Structures are given as C-alpha cells and as structure tokens.
Structure 1
C-alpha cells in the first residue's frame, strides 16, 4: 500500500500518539546489509558550524542530550546508558546506525507495529527500550532537540555533497523536525530533492550496522566469556557494569544488570549485537575480533539478566512468543536458568 506522505505531514504526530498506546513499538530489527568498501558515505558538517540562533540552540541541545543522556536520568532515562553508546562518534559514524541515515529513513511504515512511524516515534522507542525509561512527549524540548540534531547532521552533509557547502542548514519548525526526511513534502533544496527522491532516502550507504557472515560454529557462551575477558572487561569491567563516577554518571556503559538496556532493546538480539561489536569494538580499534569471536561474545553478553521487557504483562512465555521470535535468549533456558524470569524491574521515572 502506498503511503501518501504529503497528507501524513499534517496528521502524523496526533495519530501516532493514539497508536503508541494501542500498538506498542515492537522494536523491529535494524536494517543490516553487507558492508560496501566502495561506498561513499555522507559526512556531516563540523559542529562548530552550528548557527548561533534559535534553531542552532535546538541542535546544540540535541547534541548535548545525545552524548550525555544522563542529563535526563530519572525523567526519561532509567539506566546508565547514553545514546552515543550505540551510535558512535555522536551519531556521525557510518556503519554505526548514524543519525543522518536514520533521519532520512522516516516516516516509514513498519509491519511489526502495523503503522507509519515518524522519526520522533523511533526516538521514543529508544527511550522505552535501550534507555529503559519513559519517552519524551511529542513537541517536548528534548524530543524536538534530538530530532533537530539528527536533521542538521543529515541536511548539512547532503548540502555539502551537492555543492551547497557555503549555505546554512535551513531551519525547520518543530513539527516538521519530528516527522523525518523521507516525507514527500519534506522541504529540501531542489538539487538534493532531484538527486535523492523520497523512495531512495531510506537506503543511504552506512545505515545501520553492517551484516557479517554467520559463524562457522554455533555461538558459545564459554568461548564468549573468554573473548569478553580478553577484549571487553578492561573497559566494561569483569562484572559487565561499566564505569560510573561517584555521582552515578556513566562513562562506560554496563552491558547487563539493572542499569543496562532492557529485554526489549534491539541490542539484546545476538545478531544485532554481533554486527555492532564486530564493526565498532573494542572502542578506538574496531574490526579486531574475528567473526566467530563477535558472535561468541555477543551471545555471552546477551545471556546475562537485564531489566524486564516493558511489554511484559505477567506471562514470560506469552511475551516471548509475541515479541521475541528472533535470535535472542529471552524466555529461553541457559545453564538451567530461564532468562527474563528474574529480570530487573523496568526503571521508575517521574
């Protein structure tokens, strides 16, 4: 069914508010394709070029919230995660689920929750699952700012690609910012609109995490524990709890336990985590592990207990069947223990 985005632009946010209650975001798997070594990736503008005006202040706030999401701890964030933990280099890095590619992929119909999602919807899902918290409301300063930052990265990079490097990124109003760049009615310079029609915007090179080969051997928790000890424990600690200061501000994120991403987050999928780890870890010297090691350590990390899936309604088996028909351990027995059966509670936020 063809979605008429021009009409959607006027009604997206009010419709989504109702739909969020009726059809919770099921966190569909991030798109993954084999890495293309010849691809030309979009390069966002330097942060120093953000304008010192009302729109620029929104972009700056979005950047600040993205790299230090703990500013929202207790209000919207319920764990020790920051957005930048899963989206490297402040959401700028290709092949690390960059914000510029995600922004241009929405609005989009998602079969998993049977509705059209705006970019704001997608961010709200991240707060619910990856941040184990409460999503900011539509039109809230935080949601607008995070949308503005992603838009600025995308549009600035596209403008530079198409010979508009000396022009500032056009300001958008708050509602436009939250919809996303894939709408037919989305305002952009003619030269970009002609080169990048709406049906091509959701497949920018570098989107998501690159797909890697399947492991030769079934992922092993025992081997994964050794890979973790050799390559991950120095930063994430032996107990997987990362590094925080005395005030609880997180610098290295926990990978399991009460302050990690919950059982609804995309990163709990073994394949998604393996793709991310292989491409991005260890931090600062990525693509160091073998494919097998990436799968093994992903399985090990995601075989540890973490906060409960927010969609859980009392039956672990029903929740597993409804939302977890994928590559993960939720509701499955590992060494005699059923994961999710004693999950940490979802965080309480104001």
Structure 2
C-alpha cells in the first residue's frame, strides 16, 4: 500500500463540508459567488504521464520554463531541493525525506489524488483550519510545517516562485474559480462503528507491510540522488508526517487509502481503510504543537479532529475513531 501516490494531509483544498460538524456553515464560509461548470481534468502535453516529469523539448527555452521545471523537481524530489539533502543548507525547509508527490501523486498530475490541475484559480480561499482567507503560498507552507514536518519556505524565494510557476503551468486553461473534475479526493461514507486499530494491524500486515515495511519505515529509492528519496514512503516514525498533517485525521486518511490502496489495485474496503488508518495513526510520529488552535470556529471543526475543544457532547476518543454519523449537525 503506497501512500506515495495523497495529505493529507494531507488535500490542498480546505476541508470538505462532509467532514465537518456543521456542513451548512462550511458551505456559507466557502462561498465565492463564482458559479462555473466544472472543468475537465487535463494535464499539459509536456508532462510525462508515467512519472510526472516534464519533457523540456516540448516547452520554449525561457526563464518561465526553467521555473516550471524546477517546481516539478521540487515536487518530485523534494529532499534534494528543499529537504534534508539540499546542497545549500539554508534551503533545507522540509524536515523529513517525504516528497510532495508522497501525497500529490506524480507531482499533482493524477486525478483523484489531490492533484494541482486548476489549483491556481482556486486561491485565495477560506480555510477552515485557520478560519481565514489564505493564499496558495500559505497553503503550501501549511504542508511544509505539517506533512513535511519542517519550516516555511519564504514566499519571495526562488523555490516558492518555482512551485507557483509549476502550479500555474498545470492550471492553464482552467477558469478562475472553477472546480475541476477529479480535484481533491473522492468522498467516502462513515462506518456505523468506531475504527479499530487492532483490526487495522491485521490489514496492514496483510496488505501494506510488503511495501511500507513491517515497522512502517518505508523503502528507500536506490536512485534517490536523482529522484524521490523513497520508493514507498514511511507511514510512521521520525521521517513521516507529524500529528498536524491532514493524513493524521482518520477520515482524510481513510478517503485516501480507499481511493488508492494498494497502489494500482485499490481493493481495500471502507472498513479496512478506516481500520488501517486507525492503526497507522496510533503509531509513533513527530508531534505538531498547539493543535488546539486549529479550527477556531468549532462549527466547522472536522469530525475526526482528536484535539478539543468541541461544540458537541462527544469525547476525544469518538472524535478520533468514530462513529461519526450522530455528530453531524444539519
């Protein structure tokens, strides 16, 4: 089971109303007044569909192209450019060896896996976690300090500008404010019981450990000097995402796993997806401080947020593992 091919996190989008305590409030806060038909998912011809790399021969020789190519490399080889293995130590913003592609498959070019097609036109946007309107740069830096367990990339840096150029390139032809078919993650339903970490361990041992390791340590890429650090990323431990990442929340994790795992043959059931995520996220990982400050408007706090306070009568354990249907306020 390869999480190399979603957040998250965690998703680059604000949390869906289906995941929140009061969906009607989420809908009101997300409103932009822009009502456009959903655009088709289309990746530029210069993108290699097999690995997400860019064929420079199909693009003009220009500073813009150079920025786009650098942005693509940052997404797919994060550790080499803004991570622990960056030659310039001042550029080591990511705190682990994951890549952006660990969640956003092939550099955000795959539909249904938190892709970046059209992303430039969906920001600025209201974000539930901060209850503020945020920029795309803000959202990227949210991933940097949470999923990447690192620090923020300066907005005026060459690296941030390259990531923005790359997302601009992937967004060509998509109207500002339009949704794109295949953006984010497919929605999933709730279980009628709590997710069970013990059952999840069985699922992990049978369906995930061959790729991600018996101890969740992942498998390193032997060609990491010119590629992604991991062939299959770690799912827990010091080199994985921290507790502030979207993937640390049960429903977000289960949605990703249900849609994508095992890689290339997504056959896990809804129950298996919930249970294995419950197991994975009860294993040791870096701690993100001050999570109690996330989602200050309790009405839009995700059901699966395991840190209070809450605008309901349910305890932390139920918020972490479910069941969730009785929590939703209509």
TM-score w.r.t. the length of structure 1 is 0.66
Q: Is the 1:103–1:154 Cα contact (8 Å) retained in structure 2? A: yes
Q: Distance in 2 between matches of 1:221 and 1:93?
A: 30
1:108 aligns with 2:125: yes
Shift of 1:244: 2.3
Structure 2 counterpart of 1:41: 41
Q: Distance in 1 between matches of 2:269 and 2:162?
A: 38
Q: After superposition, where does 1:253-264 map in structure 2 within 5 Å?
A: 253-264=233-244
1:68 aligns with 2:80: no
Shift of 1:53: 1.2
> RMSD between aligned alpha carbons?
3.1
Shift of 1:114: 3.7
Residues 245, 87 of structure 1: alpha-carbon distance in 2 compared, 3 angstrom cutoff: closer
1:308 aligns with 2:287: yes
Q: After superposition, where does 1:1-350 map in structure 2 within 5 Å?
A: 30-31=15-16, 40-47=40-47, 48=55, 49-71=58-80, 72-74=82-84, 75-155=92-172, 158=173, 196=175, 198-199=176-177, 201=178, 203-244=179-220, 249-285=229-265, 287-311=266-290, 326-329=303-306
Q: Is the 2:40–2:180 Cα contact (8 Å) retained in structure 1? A: no
Runs (4 or more) in structure 1 with deviation over 3 Å come to: 27-34, 245-249, 318-326, 328-334
Shift of 1:227: 0.8
Work out the number of aligned pairs and report it.
259
Q: Distance in 2 between matches of 1:298 and 1:104?
A: 32
Q: Is the 2:15–2:127 Cα contact (8 Å) retained in structure 1? A: no
Residues 99, 281 of structure 1: alpha-carbon distance in 2 compared, 3 angstrom cutoff: same
Q: Distance in 2 between matches of 1:108 and 1:152?
A: 20
Residues 221, 133 of structure 1: alpha-carbon distance in 2 compared, 3 angstrom cutoff: same
SS in 1 for 2:231: strand
Q: Distance in 2 between matches of 1:66 and 1:251?
A: 15
Q: Is the 1:63–1:90 Cα contact (8 Å) retained in structure 2? A: yes
Q: Is the 1:81–1:250 Cα contact (8 Å) retained in structure 2? A: yes
Shift of 1:102: 2.9
- How far does the alpha carbon of each residue in 1:285-316 deviate from its partner, in whole angstroms, 9 at most, with x for none? 2x21111111111111111121111436xxxx
Decide which structure has the larger Cα Rg and report it: 1
- Structure 2 stretches lacking a partner, 5+ long: 1-11, 20-37, 48-54, 85-91, 309-314, 321-330
Shift of 1:98: 0.5
Q: Distance in 1 between matches of 2:119 and 2:66?
A: 22
Shift of 1:262: 0.6
Q: Distance in 2 between matches of 1:85 and 1:119?
A: 19
Task: Report which structure shows greater RCO (CA 8 Å, sep ≥6).
Answer: 2
Q: Is the 1:45–1:153 Cα contact (8 Å) retained in structure 2? A: no
Shift of 1:214: 1.4
